[in-house]
Amino acid sequence: MEKNFILDTNVLLHDPRSLFTFEDNNVVIPIYVIEEVDKFKRDLSELGRNARLAARYLDALRAEGSLAEGVPLPGGGNLRVVVSHRPLPPSIGDAQLMDNRILSVALDIKEREPDLKAVFITKDTSLRIRADAVGLEAQDYDAQRVEISELYTGHRELLVPRELVDQMYKPGAEVALPEGEALAPNEFVLLKDETNPSHTAMGRMNPAKGRLVPLLRVVKDGVWGIRPRNMEQSYTFDLLLNDEIKLVTIVGKAGTGKTLLAIAAGLHKTTEESAYQKLLVSRPIFPLGRDIGYLPGDVEQKLNPWMQPIFDNLEFLFSTGSRKGPRAYAELLESGQIQVEPLTYIRGRSLPQQFIIVDEAQNLTPHEVKTIITRSGDGTKIVLTGDPGQIDNPYVDSASNGLSIAAERFRGEKLAAHIVLAKGERSELAELAANAL
């Protein structure tokens, strides 16, 4: 049955190409959505870019005819820009007023064209509830979604014969999986002796060899004074220290060590092994509360509160070990071998021979993650870390953020690997809070 899909503003701001994703159904854009999109077009953020792109798509479609009467879409169906004079329900504030105007268009379409099912598409949870209350079917826009409960963990356990476990401890071990078992490239497995489950061995599926190989020797010895405290952290270090793996995605709640492990590995690979010319650590700026404009000082001083967690991790790492210290830390920062920057500064650059860590990547859209990864030059490794349960960006959620999407899309790629950290190691109190609150 052909349908009318009425799109809310946030759908276009999240994905301008949403106009072309409804197959041979009709896409309806309320005129008020155009007005709201127009407010963002001068922004230098991702929202501004999407607003300008959506406007260009709509302007190009004007060449096919009148948007008021409807123009054909490349994939079938047609697109209309619609205005309604239907009376609005009471509202409080300008935001609700505009939402009600958009809802009025959706209700008008439903009543004027009863033969076609009307579906209101919005990423605003509250607006979906309000739409349902006035008798309008509402759905989230889910062209790219990976439910966090179904997210690939990057590791598993297998019960195997004792001989297979023993083989993993031999020098240069390359062990074939039992018949009928299959692992994704760079997926980890804990092999358990089927006669003695306490007899175990950890391995990684080497995509070049098609066999299990032991973890890197340096993992056990620790990096920059940091030793893995659990099995998942051992897996994480193995990915971070493997130069053949160019993209690593790490998901974990607060206190699991994802950022600390990534920075420790980056320092080791950059300053000790010289495998990379520079360690670049970055994170998106999403203030909890008022924007940075109210803070005193220049731009760098304003951004310091949001970059401080990275500096905290660096200072902790440089405080461990006898050959490190504040002087070595300052020298590496001054020389540029370590750079800590807001993510905004990365756009448009080419970044060769760098170990790049993007912290809090759950606040990025899939397009922003694509922009970052496509910046990587020859010999660059990119590490994305984050917690999909802690999102500050109002235009993504735990299932549609760039970190979750990247982890799922790169599953099966030989150059990429993913790991989920479940156990908190910051402190007993931190672990209790992460689970109980």
**In 288-325, which ranges are continuous DSSP H helix?**
299-318
SS3 370: helix
What are the pLDDT digits (tens) for 330-381? 888 888 899 888 877 776 677 899 999 999 999 988 888 988 898 888 999 9
Mean pLDDT of 235-245: 95
The answer to which of 42-51, 158-167, 240-249, 402-411 has the lowest mean pLDDT is 42-51
Q: What are phi and psi of 426, to 5 degrees?
A: -70, -50
Mean pLDDT of 137-154: 74
Closest C-alpha among 316, 357, 364 to residue 338? 357
Residues with Cβ within 8 Å of residue 354, at least 6 apart in sequence:
276, 277, 278, 279, 280, 376, 377, 380, 381
The answer to which of 90-104, 243-257, 284-298, 317-331 has the lowest mean pLDDT is 284-298
Residues with Cβ within 8 Å of residue 320, at least 6 apart in sequence:
224, 225, 226
Residues with Cβ within 8 Å of residue 304, at least 6 apart in sequence:
none
Q: Residue 95: what pLDDT?
A: 55
Find the distance separating the first CA and the last CA of the chain, reported in whole Å.
Answer: 45
**What tokens does 189 get?**
């497995």
